[in-house]
Structure 1
Amino acid sequence: MKRFYYMIDYHVHTSLCDHAEGGMEAYIQKAVEIGLQDICFLDHLTMQPAADNLSMAPGEVPFYFQALQRLKQEYRGSINVKIGLEIDFNPDHVDFFQEITARYSFDVIGGSLHFLGGLNIASHSSPWKQGDLEPDYVYDLYLEHLKKMLDYNYFDVLCHLDLVKKFGWESSRSLDKEFNEILSIIKNKHMTVEINTSGYNHPAREIYPSFDIIKNCREQGISITLGSDAHKPENVGQHYDKAWPLLLKAGYRHLTTFTRRKRSQVAITNT
């Protein structure tokens, strides 16, 4: 019987982003309770005009970093507390992203894509959720912005790669070719793809990215990490019982962890 003996959650949030609940320590305590070895905070930094209640402010980053540094020391010996950011792509602020990621000794930087210009594809108030937009148009726009995002090097991990499917709307055509091209870029840039289990909470009702994309990641030799995208302490490690079989079926036996933006590999089973 396979035993999962190195468990991590590389994507949890804090109340600083204004749409998550619970104190930082509560997330860590939950991670210890369920037997995780690593927990990585990846709270939102979103430089968008319409990002109120979606992100910590840039001026809060010093507090965020120092508070987690204290908790990292306090819980040393019980769990590895890692500190990162989930930076939402905005080409107008790339210089700032590069500056702030260099200013602090973050363990990992995640890159995400929630905004396609002025369209927020993740918001429950978005016309995308309401079904008011043509799916092929939104998918094409998403892929266009994703490729633009991959022109930059300020992040280490690509978060929830196919988030555009969140509300259950599908393209009328196969996008395998387009996503394979994106995976080739990720491979050439030595980036890591996040396996994000929060999709099981959304109308998409599946993991981010899809199993087919995970298989293609494995075929191309792309490293993966694993995160719950928890916005409440009780969601730390959520849906891992569904994720593990998919990762093993795709052929993965290792996950990627980070320390001061340097990658390491940890075995996830005893086989």
Structure 2
Amino acid sequence: MKFDIHTHHDRCGHAQGKIRDYIEAAIEKGLTVIGISDHTPYFSSEEDHPLPGIAMPKSEFKNYVNEVLHLKEVYSEKIDVLLGIESDFFPEYVENYRSCFEPYPFDYIIGSVHHVDEINIFKKGRWEGLTDKEKIRTKETYYQLIERSARSGLFQILGHIDAMKGYYPAFSSIQTEAVEHTLKVIGQAGVAIEINTSGKMKDVGGWYPSNEMLERALYYGVDVTFGSDAHIPDRVGDDYDLVKEKLKEIGFKEWVYFKEKKKVVVPL
């Protein structure tokens, strides 16, 4: 059993290739399950497509769902195609997003915090000029948002939970008890976190989350899953076997994915 629950395609405007290309790549790499999880539209905006190059327009959302469901049938004898989505987490718009998801048969929804203090977490230079106290406050705000996403009941999986280190590796060394507290909350909420291998494409050059965070996640009984966060088909399943071995090393016995929003447990 080999799976990847986090992939994108050209609808979001910053990934390459069609959904079919990611499914074909998954089959070629020997995956048994492939999750399609492009970025949600900005449902809270009055505009159809407020940020081209970041997310799909609202008018494409139904087409996205229908295409995945169609390809699920087309490839049913070769691979299990799951309908997922990666949703931004904006606490003030949780119910708006929930109502947009409810009509559709999602296998899972990934909740990701991409904005802190209304600034994208990957914006280069966002840390410049901040005092140590301000850096701590920013990190704590990030984890408070992740906690709230875990408690929202909207998500089965939380995406890349230390991704703020992507273009600022020193993020990991900012000391705060917020990380520990957040992992405890995630464990209590019964939400999974992904090991996301796309960090290797950024300055930090590694996975999300760090090995240290995974050790604490294990302590708090947090379920883990795998996502390449592929934005090109060639990255589907990237580092799957390495992640699997590292999880065994840390002490995990199993990992999970979700189908029809029900947890599927896979022994490591």
TM-score (norm: length of structure 2): 0.90
Q: Could you list the per-position Cα deviations for residues 156-198 of structure 1 after superposition, in whole angstroms to 9, with x for gaps in the alignment? A: 10100111111134245423x3212111111111111111011
Which structure has more relative contact order (CA 8 Å, sep 6+)? It is 1
3-state SS of paired residue (1:103):
coil
Percent identity between the aligned chains? Answer: 29
Match of 2:72 in 1: 72
Which stretch shows the higher mean deviation, 51-60 or 113-122?
Answer: 51-60
Match of 1:26 in 2: 21
Match of 2:38 in 1: 43
Match of 2:211 in 1: 211
TM-score (norm: length of structure 1): 0.89
Match of 1:244 in 2: 244
Unaligned residue ranges in structure 1 (runs of 5+): 1-5
What is the CA–CA distance in structure 2 between the aligned matches of 1:261 and 1:145, rounded to whole Å? 22
3-state SS of paired residue (1:98):
helix
What is the CA–CA distance in structure 1 between the aligned matches of 2:129 and 2:241, rounded to whole Å? 34
Q: Could you list the per-position Cα deviations for residues 25-70 of structure 1 after superposition, in whole angstroms to 9, with x for gaps in the alignment? A: 1100100001001100111115277743211122211100110111
Distance 1:51 1:249, change over 3 A: farther
Amino acid at match of 2:258: F
Match of 2:125 in 1: 127
Residue 99 of structure 1 deviates from its aligned partner by 0.8
Is the CA contact (8 Å cut-off) linking 2:35 and 2:82 kept in structure 1? yes
Distance 1:262 1:216, change over 3 A: same
Amino acid at match of 1:143: Y
Unaligned residue ranges in structure 2 (runs of 5+): none
Is the CA contact (8 Å cut-off) linking 1:127 and 1:133 kept in structure 2? no
Amino acid at match of 2:157: V
Residue 237 of structure 1 deviates from its aligned partner by 1.0
Is the CA contact (8 Å cut-off) linking 2:151 and 2:189 kept in structure 1? no
Match of 1:3 in 2: none
Match of 1:13 in 2: 8
